[in-house]
Chains A and B, each alone.
Chain A
Amino acid sequence: MRVLIIDPDEARAALVAEGLAGVRPLAVRRAAALEGVEAELSAFAPDVVVIACDSPERDTLESLREATDSNPRPIVMFVDRSAPGLERAAVEAGVAAYVVDGLSPGRVRPILEVAMSRFELMQKLRADLDRARADLASRKTVERAKGLLMKERGLDEDAAYRLLRKLAMDSGRPLAAVAADLIAFADVLRGKGT
């Protein structure tokens, strides 16, 4: 089986390719884009094309369903009627598969499933990264607010932290939000904010 992965997201495409390495026998090629579709397709002659739904080139692939001289192997969208829910799950994961007309669903499904699971893994990794960045940002905000209280109120670090925590508990809001408000108010009082 020859699989072409088209994904503008290089890291994600690498993750899919790595996942497919477990499915044998398989030749995998990756492309960020499919400019000059026919050339690429006739050179590599994939049996399966896995494409990210956020790639604008899906519409280009859609048009390759007619066999022509330059495109002797018509490509059709992979729809597996024997696996209800698979198509919806694939669209939700953001991945579509196109196959050479006539390929059996049983051979294609494991490839699509690997691609779907890797797309979902990538999404989770990115979400984790965003959360970690947000955590770091909120920790920095709390540090700044603490510093402000230490300077303006002459508190030591522990007392500043306790005061922040009390403000948060009294108002029922997260510590970072209270800290951010404090910094914003201080900026306004100093004439820095608007």
Chain B
Amino acid sequence: MSGIEQADLRLGFIPLVDCAPLAAAAELGLFAAEGLQVSLSREPSWANIRDKLQAGLVDAAHMLGPMALAAAAGVGGPAAPVVAPLALNSGGSAVAVSMSLAAGLGEADPRALSDPMAAARALGAVAARRRARGGPPLTFAAVFPFSMHAYELRWWMAEGGVDPDRDVRLVFTPPPRMAARLRSGEVDGFCAGAPWGEVAAAQGSGVVLFRGGELWPTGPDKVLGVLRAWAEARPRTLQALLRALIRAQLWADAPENRAALARLLARPDYVGAPASVIGEALERSGVSFHRAAAGFPWISQGAWFAAQMARWGQLPAGADAQALARAVCRPGLFRSAAAAVGASAPVRDSKPEGAHASAWSLAGTLGDLPMPADRMFDGRVFDPGQAAAYLDGFAIRRLAAPRPA
């Protein structure tokens, strides 16, 4: 295809259901249709994804949204200007707990197994009883310090009065190892993307307590990350890549394609888990790839991630959440690619997050977009311009010192 600056691309990914846009674009020939020869590289850790992207050993990568912000801000690792022109999915995560913790939560409050807020308070009761007995703290695993999963666990616990840094132990493990760590008793619970909660349940090592969508329907998760300099030097390559991925997202969302998607992802070179378990995860996890603007890199969702980083002491106090989100999320790049494939994209870059208790309609470039309710489980609304005020509403938080001048 004419005008593409670089046709051979290497893309890194982690074995998760939300690598679907990459896997489907490769298998359906959508990259080739754009004149791209893409090779996919299955990586063992998020740290590897970050380092390979920074070293130029992959051109683009399946990334945790907050990882892109952390790289741009230079926290948790070397600074690198990463931009996110596409969100890969919304939803899909699950919090799974061991059988014995599930029993303990159910004893503390029978509603704990169906209501995340009741579960959070029950967790507080279980943790306090353990402390009183002098037992070791409960251990929870998330996938990476900068991840939706870490923030979901922290947010949920803190609503129940459990301080995630003091009252429990928080550890980090790549998603495919979660079920084994739960089974061995090393961790009492974890939060990871699909299908790993379902895998733990299918193996009988735990139960899915709730899903990310129960905390925040339409909440953000993974993005496609590229280095800013790479994107600026290859605008046509990037648009071709985005077009292929948006087409793959449309395909992956269609109910009639979900069985084929489950079989594809089940392969050992992608997720490597039984197709039946992946099919169940696709059906029940609430993951979406394009529907309800799931592919749109909202500035307001980037700012929510930045606010979480500030809440838990990962960003210096007073850091501008919205400015960091603007440096990373690139809605304009998404809009151009979406228009080229005939998909409507949101007109605005930001929205109040969590403001809708019922379905609503969002203004789009090629027609209005039907949106589901997006109310968060704590009832709060996040205004990206008022991140500091939002954070002041939380009793449990960990503010870092301001960055020295």
Q: Which residues of A pack against B, CB within 8 Å? A: 35-37, 53-63, 65, 77, 79, 87-88, 91-92, 96
Contact = CB atoms under 8 A, between A and B. Distances in A.
Contacts of B44: 53-56, 58
A144 B57 CA distance: 43
A88 B55 contact: yes
B56 A62 contact: no
Nearest to A92: B57
Interface residues of B, number: 25
Contacts of A53: 44-45, 48, 51
Interface string B170-185: 1111101100000000
B11 to A, nearest CB: 16
Contact of B76 (A65, A87, A88): A65
Contacts of B170: 63
Interface string B61-99: 000000000000000111000000000000000000000
Q: Name the residue in B47, B144, B173, B176 with the highest tally of chain A Cβ atoms < 10 Å from its Cβ.
A: B47
Contacts of B47: 58-59, 61-62, 77, 96
Contact of B45 (A36, A37, A58): A58
Contact of B57 (A35, A60, A61, A91): A91
Contact of A59 (B46, B54, B55): B46
Nearest to B143: A59
A60 B51 CA distance: 15
Given A60-B172, A63-B172, A77-B77, A91 B145 contact: no
A35 B186 contact: yes
| Most central of B56, B170, B172 by chain A CB within 10 Å | B172
A59 B172 contact: yes
B258 interface: no
B265 to A, nearest CB: 19
A63 B78 CA distance: 14
B236 interface: no
Nearest to B172: A63
Contacts of B326: none
15 contacts: A53-B44, A53-B51, A54-B44, A55-B45, A56-B45, A56-B173, A56-B174, A58-B47, A59-B46, A59-B173, A61-B47, A63-B170, A63-B171, A63-B172, A92-B55
A62 B55 contact: no
A65 B314 CA distance: 11
A53 B186 CA distance: 23
Given A59-B47, A59-B172, A91 B55 contact: yes
B145 A62 contact: yes
A96 B56 CA distance: 16
B57 A59 contact: no
Given A88-B55, A91-B51, A96-B47, A60 B171 contact: yes
A67 to B, nearest CB: 12
Nearest to A68: B165
A77 B78 contact: yes
B144 A62 contact: yes
B52 interface: yes
Nearest to B144: A59
A108 to B, nearest CB: 15
